[in-house]
Homo-oligomer: A and B are copies of this chain.
Amino acid sequence: SSPSTPIRATLFPGDGIGPEIAESVKQVFRSAEVPIEWEEHFVGDQIDPRTQSFLTWESLESVRRNGVGLKGPMATPIGKGHRSLNLTLRKELNLFANVRPCNSLPGYKTRYDDVNLITIRENTEGEYSGLEHQVVRGVVESLKIITRQASLRVAEYAFHYAKAHGRERVSAIHKANIMQKTDGLFLKCCREVAEKYPDITYEEVVIDNCCMMLVKNPVLFDVLVMPNLYGDIISDLCAGLIGGLGLTPSCNIGEGGIALAEAVHGSAPDIAGKNMANPTALLLSSVAMLRHLELHDKADQIQDAILKTIAEGKYRTADLGGSASTTDFTKAICENLIRRT
């Protein structure tokens, strides 16, 4: 599309603090004159029988049509008979890889400096199969499913990503010393793909050892690829290294180039509507969406303004120890955007 034709993207503001942080993204995009036209879809209050969840079929169609979207937090309503909204999205849109870059934010100090790694998580199977049953009273089992197809697909994505981003190493994380067949198949697929990328160093790291190494010395890692549950665990651990889920972007990749960027933190109902939420994770996720669209100039511009605002430290939200409101922080980012131009 030419710069004058706006690109349509789906926006799920989500609930809780979702609408406030989504408003922050919209404002920053307006300031940066990003050629995106948002197609907003709210989480409804009725279960759509086609999705078995509060997420409507129309909203899923919107992502399918547009190919890109941005998602705020959605609390899964408590009760039976419908699935987690996050899982519904992953399943219905076949979002097979969850990509989470994790970088130390200049000027926001944690115990770790120079963290610069990416976790790539298989997002459709493994321990998330949903297959569980009671064998006899007091004995339950759940199935972990690993397929060659999904393992190859996420491994391909990881190596492709590493190469495209000039990364040097891919580490496959596993527990194949115990789960020889399931994690063994995952590793076999990673090895097959690795052979096609002789310039990228490939290694295999057992998950327990990986966690120990991550807390001791995270700079040892570059790109990490792994089955679903390990990705869930390790991506949160890595987020913790740089300050938490409020600061880390995430992007889900589906077949046919679909990308749904999302803030993976909760909907924080306790501070919802109070103009206190930190929009950083959703803003950085929107940057990931722009990169997926190859709008790198806009992506760089917005990312720089976010990082600059955090580094300056004058406007920080409560979760980072400051007292700025969501709108103050957003305004400061917009000013840093303009100053740069």
User: A residues bordering B, Cβ < 8 Å?
Assistant: 76, 84, 110-112, 127-128, 132-135, 137-149, 175, 177-182, 184-185, 207-209, 211-216, 229, 232-237, 239-241, 243-245
Contact = CB atoms under 8 A, between A and B. Distances in A.
B233 A215 contact: no
Contacts of A211: 211, 233-234, 236-237, 240
Contact of A141 (B177, B182, B239): B182
Which among A112, A147, A182, A212 has the highest number of chain B CB atoms within 10 Å?
Answer: A212
A142 B232 contact: no
B241 A215 contact: yes
A148 B112 CA distance: 41
A266 to B, nearest CB: 9
Contacts of A239: 212
Contacts of A232: 175, 207-208
- 3 closest A-B pairs (Cβ-Cβ)? A138-B148, A212-B240, A215-B240
B147 A139 contact: yes
Contacts of A216: 110, 240, 243-244
B229 A132 contact: no
Nearest to A152: B138
Q: Is the interface of A mostly helix, strand, loop or mixed?
A: mixed
Nearest to A178: B128
B149 A138 contact: yes
A263 B78 CA distance: 43
Contacts of A112: 111
Residue of A134, A139, A140, A209 with highest tally of chain B CB at under 10 A: A140
B142 A144 contact: yes
Number of copies: 2
By CB atoms of chain B within 10 A, which of A147, A175, A178 has the most?
A: A178
Nearest to A148: B138
A182 B244 contact: no
Given A144-B141, A144-B144, A147-B138, A132 B182 contact: yes
Given A141-B144, A212-B245, A215-B215, A181 B237 contact: no
A181 B240 contact: no
B229 A175 contact: yes
A76 B178 CA distance: 12
A142 B207 contact: no
A87 to B, nearest CB: 8
A185 to B, nearest CB: 5
7 contacts: A110-B216, A127-B175, A140-B182, A141-B146, A141-B182, A208-B233, A214-B237
A127 B296 CA distance: 43
Given A212-B245, A215-B241, 7 more contacts: A111-B215, A135-B145, A139-B145, A215-B237, A215-B240, A216-B243, A216-B244
Contacts of A127: 144, 175, 178-179
Contact of A181 (B134, B180, B208, B212): B134
Contacts of A128: 178
Contacts of A146: 139-142
A180 B140 CA distance: 10
Contact of A207 (B139, B145, B233, B240): B233
